[in-house]
Structure 1
Amino acid sequence: MLNTILLVVFILMLGTGVYYQVKRDKQTKILHVLQFENENKRSDLLDMNIEEQELRLRVLNEKYNESEKE
């Protein structure tokens, strides 16, 4: 009886560990994708000339101001 209880507890602990490991792996993959996208955006900004950067900044500021009004 005690062996069965210990076996069930062990299996549950093992299952929860695997569940959280998979969950953490998914979060890590998402973070890597976001970091990759940010690096691409950063390199795109470096490739732009100053006028394009100012225009992009102005558009982003307008979008931000519109969202603040709502």
Structure 2
Amino acid sequence: DAIHSGMLRATLGAVRHQFGLLLAQHSEVRCLLGGGEAEVVAEHLDLPLERVDNLVLQGLQIIGENKA
């Protein structure tokens, strides 16, 4: 439990930090969450966010289509 808790806190801190950096440069920022623990992370964030299944695969598909 201690390892899981530490990893969750580190993830939350990293997401909040990056969100703050982006918000300082852009007027509107949205947090996209994907992966197996996205729901757990989302429960602890008070940011505008969207849960996206297969986020990495969708990104790879877009990259592949743009190179074709």
Asked if TM exceeds 0.5, the reply is no
TM-score range, shorter chain: 0.3 to 0.5
Q: Which has the higher helix share?
A: 1
Larger RCO (CA under 8 A, 6+ residues apart): 2
Larger Rg, first or second structure (1 or 2): 1
